[in-house]
């Protein structure tokens, strides 16, 4: 059973529309005065798949009312996937836009994303009054859903694409639930870490003591009275006066420079980043009642990886992770999929020899024994070089061995690169499609002049950059699908327990669980990894092992 649902533009009511498994209407629309209560009643009695315009718009209000749903079809996320599959990546994806395309009306732009709101702010009433004109009604939702089902069926691999839609839609539910649950965060531990690293905060709002001291020492090293060490332009001028011409002040560039200021600048950059991104102001803004509650954005990156809106949740430095501490009597179950992308290449390429190596616990070690004379480092350089387009240095002879020993896997990523260079589209295993070349994926380079014209999508440099992008897209996007499928199945396993999903980053998941249930939760995570592998790749010899830790503190995982 499916039920389409539209929330009223004002108030807490809405309209429900029962559908059959094919999306056909099987009953009259049902206006309800209390949408949360109506959804809760249906969920308890039938556990339907809910069809709605946007989980990010509808589900938070339901969750605040205490209503958790099992499954949904997110029209907005699905529309983005289908538009991308058709080579129309980036077109408006809202229900209103999909309805306009279906009826031949002018397509409205998607509304801009609302600003990120720290916890405790922007929670609003049960159903806030949205900005702008009312959206399409229940009839439009039902017809757009039917159209999406037909377009999914018309894809080259509809079964895979349905799994992609299901995982993406489940991700929308998980994102809202994780944002509501929050990552356990000890503000007192965080403050102690900042004091240890940065010293006391400035009473007038400037840099803390440690940064001020480093800035003074950097100025001394350059023989000047004052220098703004956080300014790349000032640093470049200071190095130039010292006879060192640099293209930029990135860490890898500085490490190649022999000057007494370099170690001081590197330390300053690291501490400055912590102060600005996760310092006292960040903690005061984003941590409430022992929880860090960012807003997660499923599929927020073109490869399908998640992003966050505000809070920098996906860039938490390891030293700051010491503040992520389980509640008393609880533990953190941390799971990390090691060597995920190389294993994905082994699974999707159809290379039997690489797939056999992928059945080992350490894929690189297996490759080394199979084709690289036991040299694990060379095996790793070769495989990563093939996936990321590295063409120079130590990668050249290693890639030659890889191409000779695993020609099918090597050919898989090479074909993706050649398609990208020619301006074509490539797809992940489940059907997520890379952006077209018109979107622009030129190599950012190092700021040096580009004789081929980096701004021209047809230039040699831009074509090569797009080839590197599409080469990795087919692997990274599939890895994101595996991780999203694991997450969706794990959500189902944890339903009805006290354990909560509290964090997800690329190939890493954290569950906050009562200590007595932690071992059981870890076993569930392992089962879900195996289930995700079977759902995506069927009976493959490739293993996707998870590194599992049961810890009190995230930094100890």
The three-point CA angle 372-378-384 to 5° equals: 115
Distances from the Cα of 66 to the Cα of 52, 129, 220, 333, 541, angstroms: 18, 20, 60, 25, 43
β-bridge mates for residue 5, sequence order:
16
Confidence (pTM): 0.91
Q: Report mean pLDDT in 10-residue bins for the chain, 557 residues.
A: 83 92 93 96 95 95 95 97 94 96 95 70 42 76 97 97 98 96 97 96 90 96 95 96 96 95 97 96 95 94 93 93 98 96 97 95 95 95 92 84 96 96 95 78 35 57 92 97 98 96 96 98 98 97 97 97
Task: Look at residue 550 and give its three-state secondary structure.
Answer: strand
Task: List Cβ neighbours of 72 (8 Å cut-off, separation of 6 or more).
Answer: 49, 50, 51, 52, 55, 59, 169, 170, 172, 173
The pLDDT of residue 204 is 83
Count of CB atoms situated within 10 Å of the CB of 536: 24
Helix (H) or strand (E) holding 84: helix 75-85
φ, ψ for residue 54, nearest 5 deg:
-155, 120
Domain residues of the chain, as ranges?
A: 2-154, 188-283, 340-428+435-465
| pLDDT at residue number 453 | 42
**pLDDT value at residue 460:** 86
Residue 140 is predicted with a pLDDT of: 96
Q: Kind and range of the H or E element at 332? A: strand 330-337
- Residues 6+ away with beta carbon under 8 Å from 335: 508, 509, 510, 511, 522, 525, 529, 546, 547, 548, 549
pLDDT of residue 528: 98
Q: Is the dihedral of CA 102, 103, 106, 110 positive or negative?
A: negative
CATH class in words for 188-283: mainly alpha
């Amino acid at each position: 059973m499916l039920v389409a649902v539209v929330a009223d533009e004002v108030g807490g009511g809405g309209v429900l529309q029962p559908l059959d498994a094919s999306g056909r209407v099987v009953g009259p629309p049902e206006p309800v005065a209390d949408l949360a209560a109506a959804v809760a009643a249906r969920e308890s009695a039938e556990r339907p798949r809910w069809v709605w315009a946007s989980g990010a718009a509808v589900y938070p209000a339901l969750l605040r009312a205490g209503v958790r749903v099992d499954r949904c079809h997110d029209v907005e996320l699905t529309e983005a996937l289908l538009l991308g599959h058709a080579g129309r990546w980036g077109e408006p994806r809202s229900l209103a836009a999909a309805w306009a395309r279906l009826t031949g009306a002018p397509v409205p732009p998607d509304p801009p994303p609302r600003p990120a709101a720290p916890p405790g702010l922007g929670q609003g009433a049960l159903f806030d009054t949205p900005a702008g004109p009312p959206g399409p009604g229940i009839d439009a939702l039902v017809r757009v859903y039917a159209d999406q089902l037909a377009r999914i069926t018309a894809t080259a691999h509809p079964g895979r694409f349905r799994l992609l839609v299901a995982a993406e839609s489940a991700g929308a539910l998980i994102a809202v639930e994780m944002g509501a649950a929050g990552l356990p965060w000890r503000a007192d531990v965080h403050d102690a870490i900042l004091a240890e690293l940065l010293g006391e905060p400035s009473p007038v709002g400037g840099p803390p003591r440690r940064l001020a001291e480093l800035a003074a020492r950097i100025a001394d090293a350059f023989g000047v009275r004052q220098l703004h060490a956080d300014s790349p332009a000032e640093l470049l001028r200071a190095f130039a006066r010292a006879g060192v011409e640099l293209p930029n002040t990135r860490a890898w560039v500085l490490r190649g420079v022999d000057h007494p200021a370099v170690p001081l600048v590197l330390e300053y950059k690291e501490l400055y980043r912590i102060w600005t991104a996760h310092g006292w102001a960040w903690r005061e803004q984003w941590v409430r009642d022992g929880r860090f509650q960012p807003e997660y954005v499923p599929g927020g990156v073109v490869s399908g990886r998640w992003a966050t809106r505000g809070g920098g949740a996906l860039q938490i430095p390891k030293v700051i992770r010491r503040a992520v501490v389980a509640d008393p009597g609880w533990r953190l179950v941390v799971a990390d999929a090691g060597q995920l992308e190389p294993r994905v290449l082994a699974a999707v390429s159809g290379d039997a020899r690489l797939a056999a190596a992928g059945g080992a616990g350490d894929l690189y070690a297996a490759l080394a024994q199979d084709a690289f004379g036991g040299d694990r480092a060379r095996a790793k350089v070769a495989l990563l070089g093939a996936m990321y387009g590295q063409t120079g240095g130590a990668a050249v002879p290693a890639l030659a061995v890889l191409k000779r020993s695993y020609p099918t896997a090597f050919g898989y990523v090479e074909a993706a690169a050649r398609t990208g260079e020619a301006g074509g589209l490539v797809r992940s295993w489940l059907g997520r499609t890379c952006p077209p070349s018109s979107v622009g994926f030129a190599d950012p380079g190092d700021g040096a002049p580009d004789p081929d014209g980096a701004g021209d999508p047809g230039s040699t440099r831009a074509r090569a950059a797009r080839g590197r992008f599409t080469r990795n897209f087919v692997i990274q996007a599939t890895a994101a699908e595996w991780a999203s499928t694991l997450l969706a199945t794990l959500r189902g396993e944890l339903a009805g327990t006290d354990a909560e999903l509290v964090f997800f980053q690329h190939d890493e998941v954290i569950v906050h669980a009562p200590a007595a249930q932690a071992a059981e939760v870890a076993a569930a995570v392992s089962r879900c990894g195996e289930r995700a592998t079977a759902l995506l790749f069927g009976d493959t010899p490739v293993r996707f092992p998870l590194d599992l830790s049961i810890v009190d503190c995230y930094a100890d995982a």
